[in-house]
Amino acid sequence: MNFPITATADLSALANLDQLLADNAEKGIRAELARTVKDFGGMLIFEWTKGATIALKNPGKYMQMIDDGKIYPFEDDPLHFVIINDHPAAVYFEQGYDPFDMRKMLAAHGKTAKDGTRYMRIPFGHSQGEMVRAGISEDELKEMTATERRHVPMSAGDYVFWKQKTFAGDRLTDLGDVGKRRKYFSFQTGDLARREGIYGRKTVDYTWKSSKFEGAQKFVDNAGTTKGFMTFRTISEKSDPDAWIHPGLRAMHIAGHAVETIAPLFINAVAETVEKAFRQAGFPTS
């Protein structure tokens, strides 16, 4: 996804402007423009990062990838500043996506039960902070210390891959309504609705049967550091349809808004630099 900020100017009348303006290249117009590009590249990173802190609940990894994705000068061109955010959800955060039925995964990735029903186990990750905020005691989480290693399914989009993780042996049980939620939203029906014979708007109103943290198990890295908690839920062709309709994601335009903020300021700065060069070279500017 590209969000270019471009400023162009015809400098053909100033072919020798660097020599007219400065005794060394560091003070020439190209150097001035390069400093402007570099400065505003930094401003764009700041604005983009600020937008991420407002839009995202856990922006740390996304923000780190903004900073890691800085390339300057790009292809050795000091007038070209590039930022590439390789966060796996960056495009989704930017563009959003419509509600969809997660049961569509069953056809390609589900297993077949004895009665012929397709099913699969879906992993969900949870942070310790999220669980504490929901009302689970930190002491209870710390008690989960015994560890074991196993391969578990990790979901990524519409497919599942297997990855080895280290888990704590104890599981959280009998959590009652802690972390239990009601899912309620409406959406304009589209492809999902047409497949199910629904037209107009659909309202999803579903209350989870148990806490989303029920059965949670800690997983840690090789050094024994807690990396989070995992729960598993079974999805099958017998599941309540509303239980597995994902509400989609509202487009947040995090990068787009940052570009909209910085672009006019950058273009004005470039125009001022060029105008200043024309004046110092003795050319009329208006």
Residue 62 has pLDDT above 70, yes or no: yes
Distances (CA, A) of 273 to 13, 44, 99, 199, 280: 15, 19, 48, 57, 11
- 178, two tokens: 């802690």
Are 205 and 183 in contact, with CB atoms under 8 Å apart? Answer: yes
b/e code 88-117 from CB counts within 10 Å (16+ = b): eebeebbeeeebbbbbebbeeebeeeeeee
Judged against a pLDDT cut of 50, whether residue 25 lies above it is answered with no
Q: Which residue has the higher pLDDT, 83 or 201?
A: 83
Q: What is the mean pLDDT of residues 148-170?
A: 60
**Rounded Cα distance, 171 and 232, in Å:** 12
**Contact assessment for residue 106 and residue 235, using Cβ atoms and an 8 Å cutoff:** yes
Question: Residue 223, CB half-sphere, CA atoms under 13 Å: how many?
Answer: 3
Query: Residue 269 — pLDDT band, cuts 50, 70, 90?
Result: very high
| pLDDT of res. 23 | 46
Q: 71 - beta bridge partners? A: 82
The Cα 273–Cα 27 span in angstroms is 12
pLDDT category of residue 247 using cuts at 50, 70 and 90: confident
Task: Tell me the Cα Rg of the chain.
Answer: 27
Domain limits, the chain: 12-95+251-280, 100-246
Lowest mean pLDDT, pick from 2-16, 126-140, 170-184: 2-16
pTM over 0.75: no
* pLDDT attached to residue 58: 85
Say what percent of the chain tops pLDDT 70. Answer: 75
pLDDT band at 24 (very low <50, low <70, confident <90, very high): very low
